[in-house]
């Protein structure tokens, strides 16, 4: 962030290739699979390093990045079913005549018009992305705060509509914080000027020298407003708070450019030396309503969260599991680790083979097939 949380913070190049790279591993942005560096992976008599195995994983598990994304819900892709089908055929390299024949619509010229419409959509997307990047760049230069004319800590603004006198600032805070600025927010303001004053006051509840986890940020914001998720998002969008790319750390954004550089450098160093221990193993997704289970093995058990994210967005590869998830709802399913794989300090240890044997052990034990589960029997 399947679409992981890392997916949304990845670069365009990383999303296009389907994975991102860290110091210790490669991370599949589609399903959350983590592929550790420094290991040789045997595949059908051939040996792959981590980079090549990552490409192999995307091919085997997802077909291709394009194929996977094209199967996502239209709410995510922004494409109609008709546009999606066209793009799939264009991706296959079919000519206008072949597409027209396969879809049975119009003529070859009609298909050319559809190609043009998709190119227009591409141009619009590029303009939108550039505008978003420029907007982010503006936010980095200085947080968008409401300006109190006689408050020295507030930066100067060109937009006079955001100018707030000391008296007006006090009036706004009294209106939205009837119990005082450290009390509860009465309701979230609609006017931008009022909203910025409220967000600035809430920001004062954070220590500018401290690094917060998301849980700690939520705890602070819950003291101000019940919908802390909305407040957190606006604090980020308006430049009062900043966060690490993976959402693991938050801090108050400084008005000083040099202080901000130091903070960013601090985050980079912490990320560089942070070691993430991954555990391989077998887990199950159990439907507590009917007792059916889906058993799966993974090199990183933390990717179970990615599977849950996939199911929430209706894009899990197991259609039977996805269908019942949609039917019974999220609360009917639990994720459970069945067994963690022991990894001996042996340079010749075959992780792939050991994990497959562990998975087969649990498949034999639970028999999650037919009325008992969602798995399909493997040919051994």
Q: Of 85-94, 293-302, 306-315, where does mean pLDDT reach its minimum?
A: 306-315
With respect to residue 264, please indicate whether it lies within any of the assigned structural domains. no
Indicate whether 217 pLDDT > 80: yes
With respect to residue 275, please indicate whether it lies within any of the assigned structural domains. no
Give the DSSP H/E element, type plus range, for residue 231: helix 228-237
Length of the chain: 380
Same domain, 248 and 322: no
54-87 in b/e form (b: 16+ CB < 10 A) is bebbbeeebeebeebbbebeeeeeebeeebbebb
Q: Is 109 helix (H, G, I), strand (E, B) or coil?
A: helix
Number of structural domains in the chain: 4
Write out pLDDT tens, residues 278-308.
688 999 999 999 999 999 999 888 777 778 8
Instruction: Give residue 276's pLDDT.
Output: 45
Indicate whether 36 pLDDT > 90: no
Average of pLDDT values for 9-26?
A: 84
Same domain, 201 and 113: no
CATH for 236 = 1.10.10
| Contact present, 221 and 230 (Cβ < 8 Å) | no
Q: Pairing mode, if any, of strands 293-298 and 281-287?
A: antiparallel
As a three-state string, the secondary structure of 23-86 is CCEEEECCCCCEEECCCCEEECCEEECHHHHHHHHHHHHHCCHHHHHHCCCHHHHCCCHHHHHH
Task: Give the span between the Cα atoms of 278 and 271, in whole angstroms.
Answer: 16
Instruction: Give residue 324's pLDDT.
Output: 94
Instruction: Give residue 266's pLDDT.
Output: 53
Element counts in the chain: helices (H) and strands (E): 16, 12
Task: Give the span between the Cα atoms of 112 and 99, in whole angstroms.
Answer: 10
Same domain, 51 and 91: no
DSSP 130-143: HHHHHHHHHHHHS-
| Contact present, 7 and 14 (Cβ < 8 Å) | no
Q: Which residues form the domain of 21? A: 5-70
What's the pTM? 0.39
Task: Give the span between the Cα atoms of 19 and 177, in whole angstroms.
Answer: 45
Among 70, 103, 118, which residue terminates a domain?
A: 70
CATH for 314 = 3.40.1440.10
Of 49-58, 97-106, 181-190, which has the strongest mean pLDDT?
49-58
């Amino acid at each position: 962030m399947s679409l992981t949380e890392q997916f949304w913070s990845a670069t365009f190049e990383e999303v296009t290739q389907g994975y991102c790279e860290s110091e210790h591993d490669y991370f599949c942005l589609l399903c959350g699979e983590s592929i550790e560096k420094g290991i040789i992976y045997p595949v059908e008599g051939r040996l792959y390093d981590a980079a090549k195995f990552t490409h192999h994983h995307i091919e085997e598990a997802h077909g291709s990045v394009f194929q996977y994304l094209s199967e996502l819900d239209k709410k995510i892709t922004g494409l109609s079913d008709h546009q999606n089908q066209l793009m799939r055929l264009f991706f296959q390299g079919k000519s206008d005549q072949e597409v027209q024949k396969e879809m049975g619509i119009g003529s070859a010229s009609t298909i050319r018009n559809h190609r043009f419409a998709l190119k227009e959509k591409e141009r619009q997307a590029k303009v939108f992305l550039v505008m978003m990047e420029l907007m982010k760049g503006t936010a980095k230069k200085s947080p968008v705060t409401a300006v109190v004319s006689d408050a020295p800590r507030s930066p100067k603004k060109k937009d006079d509509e955001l100018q707030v006198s000391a008296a007006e600032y006090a009036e706004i805070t009294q209106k939205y914080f009837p119990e005082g600025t450290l009390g509860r927010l009465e309701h979230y303001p609609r006017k931008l000027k009022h909203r910025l004053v409220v967000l600035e006051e809430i920001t004062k509840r954070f220590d500018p020298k401290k690094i917060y986890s998301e849980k700690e940020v939520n705890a602070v914001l819950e003291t101000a407003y019940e919908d802390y998720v909305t407040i957190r998002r606006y604090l980020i969008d308006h430049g009062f708070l900043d966060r690490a790319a993976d959402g693991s750390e938050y801090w108050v954004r400084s008005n000083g450019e040099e202080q901000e550089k130091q903070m960013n450098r601090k985050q980079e160093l912490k990320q560089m030396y942070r070691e993430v221990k991954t555990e391989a193993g077998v887990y199950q997704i159990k439907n507590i309503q009917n007792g059916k289970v889906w058993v799966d093995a993974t090199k990183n058990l933390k990717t179970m969260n990615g599977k849950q994210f996939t199911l929430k967005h209706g894009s899990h590869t197991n259609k039977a599991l996805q269908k019942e998830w949609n039917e019974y709802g999220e609360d009917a399913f639990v994720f459970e680790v069945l067994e963690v794989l022991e990894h001996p300090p042996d340079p010749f240890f075959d992780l792939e083979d050991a994990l497959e044997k562990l998975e087969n052990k649990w498949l034999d034990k639970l028999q999650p097939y037919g009325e008992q589960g969602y798995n399909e029997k493997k040919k051994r």
